[in-house]
Amino acid sequence: MPSIYDTDEKRWQAVQARESAADGSFLYGVVTTGIYCHPSCPSRAALKRNTRFYANRSAAIADGMRPCRRCRSDEPPLLERQRQLVEKACVLISDSEEAVKVDALAMQLGVSRFHLQKLFRQFLQIGPKQYIKSVRAQRAAHILGGDGEVLDGIYEAGYHSSAAYYADGAQRLGMPARVYKRQGEGMHIRYAFATTRFGKIVVAATRIGVCSILFGESQTQLVEDLTARFCKASLVRDRETLQQLVEQVVAGIEDPSLAARLPLDIQGTAFQEKVWSALRDIAPGDTATYAEVAASIGKPEAARAVASACAANPVAVIVPCHRVLGAGSKLAGYRWGVDRKRRLLAHEETH
């Protein structure tokens, strides 16, 4: 996608306005100081004739510029650093097996409670406390979808009593615990189709995020696969509502660096979710073996179980099970075909 800052005049206007939206699109340097900055840098404005523009840090450094200490131009833009902090907070919340306290979370991240609340509302439109409750409710949904007792699932999810669950979790989940025990009857899932360079896909989503991305040879096959996975949910084809999300999914497949920004609502066993999370830590262009993934989650003996978790992955490409190889880096089986796996890896090596 071409940048809107495609001329020096537009870049200069962005620098004068200190547009944070321009951060990441380019950098500018001041020849009289030898310093390069992000467009939003609050430092004193330079004269236009003393300003140069650079596509990236390497270009600025090659021109003899050094980073600005004020806007930390040798690091990602402020907005990106803030987004990364919120993402880290979300991971800590999701990975914690105990109830998370906002004060303790802020301390762990090295920020104040007020600053953490501000960032959560900026990026997620809810506060950290509300997010913690949402994660706990989703955890209850997953546990209650298994074979355990309803009350056991409520306690395991972190609720101190069934009353606490029904006051909070059931309201957030949109259905009572015993409905989840019936394999999610009443769930409302929208889906839409798209075509990518790797084939046809169906994108399915709840109100929380993407719950499934599947490859298939035809729309008929895709619907059959989706129905098999969500056999007791209400499935509605709705391209209009999902238009933007589908475009984001296709963009994430085309440019793997965008995949991490997609909202997901995927549920599996505790082990599967741990594996899927580890898969998202494998950078585009890199690969890992099943044994290496098993070791990364502290289960070095569980390489076969990791392979099974990869096979059960409900979200193709975005949760990149295609980046996992067999022993000796062998191009092992892939749910959607080894040839597709090979093409995905080749594409990511060049992007």
- Tokens standing for 107? 């301390």
Mean pLDDT of the chain: 82
Q: Let me know whether 23 and 88 are in one domain.
A: no
Predicted local distance difference test score (pLDDT) of residue 125? 67
Q: Cα 115 from chain centroid? A: 22
* Same structural domain, 21 and 37: yes
Q: How many domains does the chain have?
A: 4
Identify which of 44, 25, 24, 22 has the alpha carbon closest to the alpha carbon of residue 33: 44
How far, in Å, CA of 288 to CA of 329, rounded?
8
Interval 134-173: pLDDT, tens = 676 666 555 444 444 443 444 444 444 444 444 444 333 3
Q: Look at residue 167 and tell me if it is in a domain.
A: yes
CATH number reported for the structural domain that contains residue 151 in this entry: 1.10.10.60
pLDDT of 179: 36
Average pLDDT, integer, range 3-26: 88
Provide the token pair at 86.
Answer: 């919120």
User: Residue 182 has what DSSP assignment?
Assistant: T
Q: What pLDDT, in 10s, does the model give residues 96-107?
A: 767 788 999 999
- What is the phi/psi pair of residue 199, to 5°? 125, 180
pLDDT for position 172: 39
Most confident of 130-134, 149-153, 196-200, 331-335: 196-200
Could you report how far apart the first and last alpha carbons of the chain are, in Å?
Answer: 14
At residue 197, φ and ψ (nearest 5 deg) are -65, -15
- How confident is the model at residue 300, as a pLDDT? 87
Most confident range (mean pLDDT) of 128-137, 173-182, 259-268, 297-306 is 297-306
Q: Is there a domain that residue 1 lies in? A: no
Q: What is the pLDDT of residues 113-129, one digit of tens each?
A: 999 999 988 777 678 88
Give the residue from 42, 80, 44, 41 showing the smallest Cα distance to 60. Answer: 41
CA–CA distance, 79 with 23 (Å, rounded to integer)? 8
CATH number, position 55: 3.40.10.10
Looking at the structure, do residues 161 and 84 belong to the same domain, yes or no? Answer: yes
Per DSSP, helices labelled H in the chain are 8-17, 57-62, 78-95, 102-109, 113-124, 128-144, 150-156, 162-164, 170-173, 177-181, 219-229, 239-254, 270-279, 290-296, 303-311, 338-349
For the segment 294-319, the average pLDDT, to the nearest whole number, is 89
Structure tokens at 222: 């895709």
- Which pLDDT score is estimated for 138? 61
DSSP string, 28-93: EEETTTTEEE-TT--SPPPPGGGEEEESSHHHHHHTT-EE-TTTTTTS--HHHHHHHHHHHHHHHH
Under 8 Å between Cβ of 109 and 102: no
Do residues 340 and 279 share a domain? yes
Tallying the residues shown for the chain, one arrives at: 351
Domain end residue (candidates: 240, 261, 282): 261
d(CA 176, CA 184): 10
Confidence at residue 267, expressed as pLDDT on a 0 to 100 scale = 73
Residues 174 and 90 in one domain: yes
Task: Work out the average pLDDT over 198-227.
Answer: 91
For residue 3, being part of any structural domain is answered with: no
Percent of the chain with pLDDT over 90: 44
Tell me, what's the pLDDT at 181?
Answer: 39
Question: Looking at residue 345, which CATH number applies to its domain?
Answer: 1.10.10.10
pLDDT of residue 316: 95
- Domain check: are 89 and 175 in the same one? yes
174 and 106 housed in the same domain: yes
For 266, the 3-state DSSP assignment is: coil
* Residue with more model confidence, 27 or 264: 27
Asked whether residue 256 is domain-assigned, the answer is: yes
The residue out of 158, 180, 202 marking a domain boundary is 180
Residue 236 lies in a domain: yes
| 166 and 148 assigned to the same domain | yes
> Looking at residue 182, what is its pLDDT?
42
With respect to residue 124, please indicate whether it lies within any of the assigned structural domains: yes
Is the domain of 305 the same as that of 277? yes
Catalytic residues: 37, 321
pLDDT digits (tens, 9 = 90+) for 27-71: 999 999 999 999 999 998 899 999 999 999 999 999 999 999 999
CB-based contacts of 127: which residues, under 8 Å, 6+ apart? 117, 120, 121
Domain that holds residue 150: 79-180
User: In the chain, pLDDT over 70 holds for what percent of residues?
Assistant: 83
| pLDDT given for residue 198 in this prediction | 95
C-beta atoms surrounding 194 within 10 Å: 16
Are 55 and 115 members of one domain?
no
Whether the per-residue pLDDT at 318 is higher than 80: the answer is yes
